Structure 1
Amino acid sequence: MRGLITIPIFLYLFIFTTAASKSRLILNRGDSITVGKESQFLTSPDATFTLGFYGLGTNACWLAIWFTNSADKTVVWTANRNRPVNRNGAAKVTLRRDGTMVLTDVDGTVVWQTNTTSFDIAAAHLLNTGNLVLRSQKGDILWQSFDSPMNTLLPSQPFTKSTRLTSVSSQASFATGIFNLYFGSDNVLRLISDSPDTSTSYWPNPDLRMYENGRTNYNSSRIAVLDDHGRFLSSDLLQFNASDVGPGVKRRLTMDYDGNLRIYSLNGSTGLWSVTWQALSQPCNVKGVCGRNAICVYAPLLPKCTCPPGYVVEDETNWNTGCNPMFNPKLLQSKEVNFLQIPHTDFYGFDLNTTDPVTLETCRSMCLEDFRCVAFSYRLLGQGFCFIKSAMLNGYAAPDFEASIYIKLPDTLAPSKPNIFHASSQTCGSDEREELIGSSSMYDFGSRRVKWVYMYSFAAALGAIELMFILLGWWFLFQKHGIPASVEAGYNMISSQFRQYTYSELKKATKNFAEELGRGGSGSVYKGVLSDDRVVAVKKLGDVFQAHEEYFAEISTIGKINHMNLVRIWGFCLERRHRLLVYEYLDNLSLDRHVFGSSFLSWKQRYAVALGTAKGLAYLHHECLEWVIHCDVKPENILLDSDFQPKIADFGLAKLLQREGDGSEFTRIRGTKGYMAPEWALSLPITSKVDVFGYGVVVLEMVRGVRLGNWGEEEGDGGGALSSFVRRWRGEVEGVVDGRLEGRFGRRQAAALIQVGIACVEDDRNKRPTMATVVQSLMACEYEED
C-alpha cells in the first residue's frame, strides 16, 4: 500500500519539477519571452497565474496573464488587447536595459511598452495576486499591470477613479468592447454601454434615485476592492458578496461581453468557473446588448436577440452589431409605407417629439408625416401615449409589457405581425428572413383581419370599462389636470418629488412675484416661500414664441437627470397660458455676483466651482439616459449653495439629442453673446462641444476676475479679447490671476485652469476636450495647497 502511494507522489514531483524547469519566476533586464516557445513564460510563485503568449485562432497572439489551472486558461489581462502579434513569427516581449518592457511584432514594430525609463528597474515579477510588476533594486514597484486592467478585477486589486473595466468585443477576441464599469463624475460606480450609436448608463437602475439604489455620491475617494473572501466594497456604499463567500477560493470580477458584471469562482478540482454573483438578473436590462434595430426578448431560460421583420442580423457571432434593413432606408422617407405592429415591444429613447394624449391613428399620421420617423411606440395607460422614434436602439420585449412598437416598412414588404415569444427563429444567429416575413399567423394583417373583428369589439368594451376605473382612480388619488404626457419620464412624475402647483399657489408664495432674482431670454425668476416653509425660486416663462417649447424641454430634462451639481426642480405649473417651474432656492445666487462683484470668491472656492461645474456638465454629456446639451453655459446659470458649491441651472435651452444626430435640429441661435461657440455663427452641427466652449470662457473669467468683454481694454490689443489672451499667455500665472486675491492662490491649480480654459475655447471643436477629460485634469490638482 505504501508503495502505491509513493509512486504517484514521485510522478507528481517529477512532473512538477519538469514543468518548473520550463518556466521562470523572474524576467531580468535584457531577458525576453518569445512567441512559440512553451518554455518561455513567467509564473507566480504559487503557480496560480502565468504570463506568456496566448493565442486565438491560427495567427493572432497576445501577451497575457491567465489562471494556470483553469480549464480554459482564463485570461485576466493583456498588454495588447487591440493589437495582436503574429504567433507564427519571432514576436517577443523584452525587459530592456533602460527599464522599459517592450512588446515587438515579427517585423520589430513596437506594439506595446511600459511608461518606464529607469535604469533602477531590476526585474519583472508575476505576483501571487496576478499583478505583473517591475521592481527596483530595492524591491520597490515602479510599474504594475493592476493600474491598467482589461475586463477583470482580481481580489486585492484596487479599483479607482482612474481605472475602468471594459468588456471584450466577443468571446473570440480580446478587442475592446462597448460595456464599461467605472466611477462616474458623480462618484458613483456604474455600468455604461458606450456603442457608436449611443452612450447609456444602465446600472444602478436609472429609474431610481441614488439613495433608492443604496448608493451615495457624497464621497470623493472613489475606490473599490474585491477582497480574498469574495466581498466587494465601494466608497459609494455599494456592497455585495459572492454566494460562496469565504477564504480559499480563486475568484475574479469580470465585465462580460454581454454587458453584465459577474463574480466567478473557480472549482479547484475541475478547473471550471461558476457564477456566484451578477449585477443584473435580467440581461435584457443591458442597454445595447442586441445592437441597432435588434430586439432583446425576455425568454424563460436565456434572453434572445432577434431582428424585426424587414431586417437581418449583421454578424451572427456578435449581436452588438445589430440588424441591417433589407431595403433602402430612403424608402422610409416616402409615404408609400406600411406600419407593422410588434406587440409587447419597445425601443428605448430616441423620441423625436412629445405629444399630448392622442389616438393610435393620430400617432401613425405623425410618424408618416415626419421623414425622420422609422417607428412609433404607442401605449394605452388610461389614455394614449405616442412616441415617435428616429432610431430603433435598445429594443426589448416582454409578455407583460403593455405597449406596442409600430415599425415603418416599405409597402413592397407585407409581413405578418410576428409572435416573437414563440417563433422558432428566436435562437440568436438564425436566419429569420423567410420565417418572419413569409409566415402566416393569427396576427396576419391581411386575410385574417376580419375574423377578429368581434373579438376586438368585445375587448374594446372591456377596455372602456377598465379605462373608466383608471381615470376615476387618477382623479381621486391625484386630482391633477394638464400634466404633460409628452415625455416618457412623465410617467414617473405623479409618484416622484415633482408636484403640480396651481398658479394661485405660486402667486401667493412669491407675493405676486414681488422679488425678482434674475431675468433671462426665456423668462424671469422670483423668490418665494411655499406653504410648507420651503424657500424656492419660481421661474415664470415669458409669453414668447419659444416659451412652450422651452417649458417642455425643461420638464423632459427634469425627468431624466439627477446630480449633486445640478439644480433640483420641485414642481411646475401648467394652467391656461401660465407655465412656471419651481426650483430649489440657493442662498448665494449666481456665480457672476461673486466673481465680478465686490464680494468675490477665494481661490479655493473658485477651483471648487470650476470642478463641480465640470462634473455637472460631464454628467449631462456622458452619463445621462439621454445626451443633454445645455447650450447656455455662463456665470448667470451657475448657482451657488450655502457652501458655495456650484449647481448648474436653467435648462430652458437644453436639447435632448439623438446620439447619431448631427445637431441639425437647432434652427435658431441659442445662448449668450460672449459664451457662444463659433459653430453657432458658422451654421455647423451643434454638439456638446458648445458647452465645452462656454465652460472655457467661464473658467478663464473666474481666473481673471473680470468679464470677457473687459479684457480687450486691459490687454490693449486690437483683436478679439479671447483670442488675444490665448495668443499672449506663455505659461506664467503671475499677473494673470485676479489681483484681488493678493497672490493667495495655488500656482499649479491656476496653470491647470488656464490650460483647460484655453483648450476649451479652441475654434476647432474637434480639438476641445470632453467634459469628462476636463474633470480628470482638474481632479489631479484638486488638493494643492494655496
Structure 2
Amino acid sequence: MFPMRQSRRCRDCTRRFFGSFVAVRLRSFDGFPFLSDRKLRNFDRKQQQELAGCEVPIPLLKYQKPSPPPSSPSKQENRNTSLSFIMLLPFLLLTLLSPCSSSAKSQLFKNSHLSVEDSSSLLVSEDKSFTAGFYKVGANAYTFSIWLTNSVDQTVTWTANRDKPVNGHKSRLTLHGDGGMVLTDVDGTVAWSTTIASAAAHYACLLDNGNLVVKDLNGGIIWQSFDSPTDTLLPSQPITKNAKLVSAIGRGSPSSGYFEFHFDDRNVLRLKYNGPEVSSVYWPDPDITVWENLRTIYNSSRYAVLDAKGSFSSSDHFTFIAADAGKAGIIRRLTLDYDGNLRLYSLDNTTGLWSITWLALPESCQIHGLCGKNGICSSYPRLECLCPPDFEMTDPRNWNLGCKPKFNLSCSMKPEEIEFKYLPYTDFWGFDFNVLNFLSVDECKNRCMRDCNCQGFSYKVGIGLCYSKSILYNGRTSPYSDIYIKVSKSVTTINSSKLQQQGTICNVTEGALTVGSSPKMLKGSSKKMSWNNLYSFLAAISVVEGLFIAIGWWFVYIKEDDHVLMAEGYKVISNQFKRFSYRELKSATRSFKEELGRGGSGVVYKGVLENGMVVAVKKLEDVSHGEQEFWGEVGVIGRINHMNLVRTCGFCSEDSHRLLVSEFVVNGSLDKILFYGNKLLGWKERFQIAIGVARGLAYLHHECLEWVIHCDVKPENVLLDCNYEPKIADFGLAKLLNREVIGSNVSRIRGTRGYIAPEWASNLPITGKIDVYSYGVVLLELVSGSRVSDLVMKGVTEMEIRAMKRMSLMLRNSLDMGGESWIGNFIDPRLKGDFDCKQATRMVNVAISCLEEERNRRPNMEAVVQMLVSGDEEFYSDATESIQFSSFSTQ
C-alpha cells in the first residue's frame, strides 16, 4: 500500500485546529483558566489566518461569542457540552492522525498544480502501484517523474525534464486552462510542457499501468506519457517509429546518455551507441545480415510492445519472453540501462527488489562505446575498462570520455619518430577506412605509418587481413585479431625526464661514495695506481664482462623463448579467455590428482589457479584438429556466455596436449543427484532445471554468434550450481573431437546411447533437432526420476529408437485419455505426490513432441522454452500446432 507522506505544514495545521477547537469547547467548563473574550477572539482570528489553505474543516472554528456564563452552570449544560465534545473527539483524532491523503491526488484538474515544496503533493494511480511527483535528483534539483511505489529504491519509469531539473523552491507542475501541462522553475521559466494543448482538456491522472494522461470531459485521452518514453518501457507501452528509449548518462543520474533503442530506417529494432564523436549499431549483431539475425525489413509498421505476461514482440519478427513469463500480477519494466544493455526486470512485491529476467547482451563488452574513445573493455574476471599502453583516462570519474594519449602525433612526423604498440588478442570494432588482403604485419605497419589518418590497425594472423583504423572506438578483447596502435617514440623519453624532475630516480649521494672507504684510499686515488690496485681493477673488469655475457645470453636465448611463448599465446589471450601452458595446468590440478568425472570427450579434474580461482580442467581425448584449427574452435567456445552454460575461461594447446579450463560448478552433474545422490531433488528444482537447460540450448541454437549443436545432451552434461540452476557443459566439442571414436557409450558419431536421435542412424544431415530429441529424453528422466535410457542401453541403435518410440506412444495415449491419475504413476515416487500436476503434464507433453521420429515435427528449442514457461494451455496448443512449420525448423 502506498505510504502517504504527511507534510510538516499539514501536521501543524491539524495540530492548530485540534488545539483551537479544544480551547473553544472547554471554555465553558468550570475551573479551566480561560482567556478573556477579547483575547479569545484575537486568538481564534489568528488561528483561522494560519489555517488558511489547510485541508481541514475550518468552518467549525468560526467564532461565536458565547453568552456570559452563569455563575453556576447547570449539570444539564455541562453534560450536553461534554457529550458534544465526546462525539466529536473521534473525528478530531482521525483528522489529527490522517496523513492528509487529500494532498496526494488521484486527479489534477484545470488551473490546479502540484508544488515541489510539498512532499505530499502527488498524483497516485488508483491501485497505488505508481506515483507521480517531484523526484529529488540533487541537493536542490528535482525532476517531475513517475516511479514504482512499492520498489525499495522507488524506481523511476518516466521523467518529464530529465535534462533540465528544476529548483526545490517555487517550482510547479500546472494544468492550465488551455489544457497544456507545464512545468515551471523558480523564476517562472518553462522547463517542460506537453506538446499538445487542448481547451477540451478536463483533468490529468495517473493510470494503473503507469501512464500519465490528460483527459477530456468524455474520458478520451488527449495526451499521454507513454508516447514519449525516457529509458523504460512498461507493459502495454509500445515503441514506435516516433518513440525511442535513451539511456541515462550514469548510475543515479536522470540525464540523457549515449545509448538508444529504436527502429532504424530499415524497420529493424536496434541498439545504438550515439556518442559525441561517433555512432554505431551493436545489437543485433552488426557483423551479420538482417536475415541471419532472424529479422525482417518488410514490415514498415515499426511497432513493438511488451505484454503483461512478459512476452515481447516486434514488427521486425524479434521476440523474447521473460524467465518468469506467464506469472500473473508481476510488475515488469524493460529498461535501457546506463551501460547500454537492454534488460527486462521483474519486481518482487514482498521485498520490493528487482530481478533480471531477460537481457539483450549477456556479454557486456559487445556494447559499443562502453569504455569511450581508445578504451578497451574486459569482462573477465570482472567487467572493467582499460587504457592501452601510453594512454590514460581522460576523466578518472567518467569512462564515457575514454582514454587520451600521453603523446602527440602529427602529420609532419618522420617514420623514425613513430612506433607501434602491440596488443595481442584485442580489437577495436569498426571505423576501418581501408581493408587490405594478404599483407604481412610489416607491410601493414609501413602503410599505416605513411598515412596521417591511420591511428593504428587490426591484423588477423594466418589470413593476412589488415584493417586500418581512422579512430579507436569499441575496444574489446578478441581471440581473432591483434591491434597495433600508432604512438610517438618520444613518449618514453618524456616520461623518463618527468620522473627525474619528480626526483624518483635514485641519485647516488656523497655519503654513499664514502661508505667503506678510508680517507687515505680516497687521497691515494690521485696518485699513481699501485700494481695491486691495477690487478683489482682488471679483475673487476673481468667480472663485469662475464656478467654482461651471461645477461646477454639470457636475453638472446631465455628471453627470446619467453617472447615466442608470448607470441604463441601462452600469456593472456584476453582478460576473459586465457591460453595456459601445460605446466600451469599440471600445477593447478596437482598433477591431475582429483578427478571430477569422465566421458566420451575426456576426463575432468579439479584445479586451483594461481589467483585462487577454482576451475574444472578437461583433458580432451582424440582431438583430430591441428593447432590453428583448434585455436579457432576454442575461440568460438570462449565467446559464448549465458547463465545456463558453463563458462569456458581458457585452454591449453601444447604439443599433443589439448585441455579446456572452465568454471567449477559446485553441485556437480545432474545424474549424480537425480539418480544416485542422497539428496532428493524437489519438484521446484526439477522444473527450474528443465527450463534452464532449454534456455541454454535455445541460446546455442538461435542466439549465439556461432551456431552450435551440442550433440551430447544428457544429465552428465548438465551441472548444477549452489542454487540448483543448471549449466550445460561440453557444448562446442563436437567439432574438436574425432567423430570416428567408438566407445562403450559413444556412438559412431557424437552422442550417448539412449539419447541419440533417429537421424544419426539414417545418415541424415545433422541439425539442432538432434539436441531437441536428447532434451526430450532428459525431460522424461527429470519427471520420472530414473534413467529412461536404461530401457534401451543394451540394444543396437535401431532397437533403441524403436523402444523410445513405444514409450512415447504409451505416454501420448495416456495424455489423450485425459485425467490426472496416470501422471501420478509416472512421476518419481520419491516425491510422494509433492508436485505440480499441470507442470508435470506440460513437461511430458513437451517431451513427447521432442521425441518425434520425424525431425521436422519436433519443436525448436525457442518453442520448447515458450511451451514450458507458459501456464496458458491455449497458448500451448497454438504453439504446438505452429512449431511444425516454424521458421527455425531447419536449425
TM-score (norm. length: structure 1): 0.51
On the 8 A contact 2:133/2:144 being kept in 1, the answer is yes
Residue 372 to residue 211, structure 1, CA distance change in 2 (3 Å): closer
In structure 2, the partner of 1:348 is: 429
Question: d(CA) in 1 for partners of 2:299 and 2:97?
Answer: 49
Cα distance in 1 for residues equivalent to 2:212 and 2:554: 67
Q: Which residue of the partner structure matches residue 477 of structure 2?
A: 397
Cross-structure match for 1:410: 488
Q: Which amino acid aligns with 1:293?
A: N
Report 1:671-690 matches (<5 A): none
Match of 1:122 in 2: 202
Query: In the TM superposition, what are the counterparts of 1:608-623 in structure 2 within 5 Å?
Result: none
| Preserved contact between residue 22 and residue 38 of structure 1 (Cα < 8 Å) | no
Query: Which aligned pairs between 1:652-691 and structure 2 lie closer than 5 A?
Result: none
Is contact 1:332-1:410 (8 Å) kept? no
Deviations 1:140-170 (A, max 9, x none): 1000000000010001112212111111111
Work out the CA distance in 2 between the residues paired with 1:286 and 1:36: 41
Equivalent residue in structure 1 for 2:362, among 281, 293, 302 = 281
Cα offset for 1:211? Answer: 2.8
Q: Structure 1 residues 46, 303: closer, same or farther in 2, change over 3 A?
A: same
Q: Quick one: distance in 2 between partners of 1:344 and 1:220?
A: 40
**Counterpart Cα distance in 2 of 1:322 and 1:153:** 29
Look up the match of 2:255: 175
Q: Name the residue aligned to 2:167.
A: 86
1:34 partnered with 2:115:
yes
Q: Counterpart of 1:187 in 2: which secondary structure?
A: coil
User: Counterpart amino acid of 2:490?
Assistant: T
Secondary structure in 2 matching 1:365: helix
Asked whether the equivalents of residues 422 and 484 of structure 2 are also in contact (C-alpha less than 8 Å), the reply is yes
User: Are residues 316 and 263 of structure 1, via their aligned partners in 2, closer, same or farther at CA, if it must alter by over 3 Å?
Assistant: farther
Q: 2:374 aligns with which of 283, 286, 293?
A: 293
Which of these residues, 209, 217, 233, is aligned with residue 313 of structure 2? Answer: 233
1:410 CA displacement: 1.8
- Indicate how the Cα distance of structure 1 residues 331 and 220 shifts in structure 2: closer, same or farther if over 3 A, else same: closer
Output the amino acid matched with 1:406: Y
**Equivalents in 2 of 1:210, 1:395: separation in Å?**
24
Q: 1:214 aligns with which of 294, 309, 325?
A: 294
Separation in 2, partners of 1:405, 1:51: 50
1:459, CA displacement in angstroms? 9.2
Distance 1:97 1:54, change over 3 A: same
Question: Following TM superposition, by how much is the alpha carbon of 1:72 offset from its aligned partner in structure 2, in angstroms?
Answer: 0.9
Residue 365 (structure 1) aligns with: 446
Q: Which has the higher contact order (CA 8 A, sep 6+)?
A: 1
2:616 aligns with: none
1:71 paired to 2:178: no
Instruction: Select the structure that is richer in helix.
Output: 2
Which residue in the other structure is 1:451 paired with?
Answer: 558
CA 248–373 in structure 1, closer or farther in 2 if over 3 Å, else same: same
Q: 1:68 to 1:305 in 2, by over 3 A?
A: same
Q: CA deviation at 1:395?
A: 0.5
Q: 1:291 to 1:152 in 2, by over 3 A?
A: same
Which digits, 9 at most, give the CA deviation of each residue in 1:739-786, with x for residues without a partner?
xxxxxxxxxxxxxxxxxxxxxxxxxxxxxxxxxxxxxxxxxxxxxxxx
Separation (CA, whole Å) in 2 of partners of 1:171 and 1:320: 12
Letter in 2 for 1:27: L
Tell me if the contact between 2:133 and 2:145 (Cα under 8 Å) persists in the aligned partners. yes
Correspondence for 2:178: 98
Report the counterpart of residue 328 of structure 2 in structure 1. Answer: 247
Q: Bigger shift: 180-189 or 274-283?
A: 180-189
Superposed, which structure 2 residues align to 1:455-470 within 5 Å? none
Superposed CA deviations along residues 64-100 of structure 1, whole A, max 9, x for unmatched, are: 111111111111111111111112x211110011111
SS in 1 for 2:186: coil
> Structure 2 vs 1, CA of residues 276 and 14 (structure 1 numbering), >3 Å: closer, same or farther?
farther
Query: SS at 2:255's partner residue?
Result: strand
Describe the SS at the equivalent of 2:99: helix
Structure 2 residue corresponding to 1:201, chosen from 252, 272, 281:
281
Q: Deviations over 1:570-615 (max 9, x none)?
A: xxxxxxxxxxxxxxxxxxxxxxxxxxxxxxxxxxxxxxxxxxxxxx
Task: State the partner residue of 1:575.
Answer: none
What is the total number of aligned residue pairs between the two structures? Answer: 424
Contact 2:137 / 2:254 at 8 angstroms: preserved in 1?
A: no
Instruction: Give the match's secondary structure for 2:491.
Output: coil
Identity, % of aligned pairs? 44
Match of 2:134 among 41, 53, 63: 53
Q: In the TM superposition, what is the alpha-carbon distance from 1:14 to its structure 2 partner?
A: 11
- SS in structure 2 at match of 1:32: strand
Secondary structure of the corresponding residue to residue 352 of structure 1: strand
CA contact (8 A) 1:292 1:392 kept: yes
Of residues 306, 312, 318, the one that matches 2:392 is 312
Q: Please state how far the C-alpha of 1:311 moved relative to its aligned partner.
A: 1.7
Question: Which of 209, 212, 216 is the equivalent residue of 1:136?
Answer: 216
Aligned AA (2:367) = V
Aligned to 1:112, the other structure's residue is in SS state strand
Question: Does 1:268 find its partner at 2:349?
Answer: yes
Give unpaired runs (5+ residues) of structure 1: 1-12, 416-433, 435-445, 475-786
Q: CA deviation at 1:447?
A: 10
**Distance of aligned partners of 1:392 and 1:168 in 2 relative to their CA distance in 1, 3 Å threshold:** same
111 and 80 in structure 1: CA distance in 2 versus 1, 3 angstrom threshold? same
Distance of aligned partners of 1:19 and 1:355 in 2 relative to their CA distance in 1, 3 Å threshold: same
* Shift in Å, 1:332: 8.9
Say if 1:150 and 1:450 are closer, same or farther in 2 by CA, change over 3 A: farther
Task: For 1:307 and 1:16, locate their aligned partners in 2 and report how far apart those are by CA, in whole Å.
Answer: 59
1:450 CA displacement: 5.9
Distance in 1 (CA, whole Å) between partners of 2:556 and 2:153 is 54
CA-to-aligned-CA distance 1:503-543 (integer Å, 9 cap, x gap): xxxxxxxxxxxxxxxxxxxxxxxxxxxxxxxxxxxxxxxxx
Would the alpha carbon gap of residues 312 and 457 (structure 1) be closer, same or farther in structure 2, given more than 3 Å must change? closer
Which protein has the larger Cα radius of gyration, Structure 1 or Structure 2? 2
Give the deviation of 1:110 after TM superposition: 0.9
Distance 1:260 1:337 in 2: 38
Measure, in 2, the Cα distance between the counterparts of 1:86 and 1:313: 33
In the alignment, residue 67 of structure 1 is paired with which amino acid? L
Which runs of at least 4 in structure 1 moved beyond 6 Å after TM superposition? 13-16, 457-463, 466-471
Equivalences for residues 314-713 of structure 1 within 5 A: 314-330=394-410, 333-335=413-415, 336-381=417-462, 383-398=463-478, 401-414=479-492, 451-454=558-561
**Offset of residue 17 of structure 1:** 5.8
Structure 2 unaligned residues grouped into runs of 5+: 1-93, 494-501, 503-552, 571-623, 633-891
SS in 1 for 2:343: strand
Query: Separation in 2 of the partners of 1:461 and 1:123?
Result: 71
Is the Cα–Cα contact under 8 Å of residues 272 and 281 in structure 2 kept in the other structure? yes
Partner Cα distance (1:281, 1:396) in 2: 15
Q: Give 1:291 deviation, angstroms.
A: 0.9
1:212 aligned counterpart, secondary structure: coil
Q: CA offset at residue 29 of structure 1?
A: 0.6
8 A contact 2:341–2:364 mirrored in 1: yes
- Give the conservation status (yes or no) of the 8 Å contact 2:271–2:282: yes
**C-alpha spacing 1:341/1:130, structure 2 compared with 1 (3 Å):** same
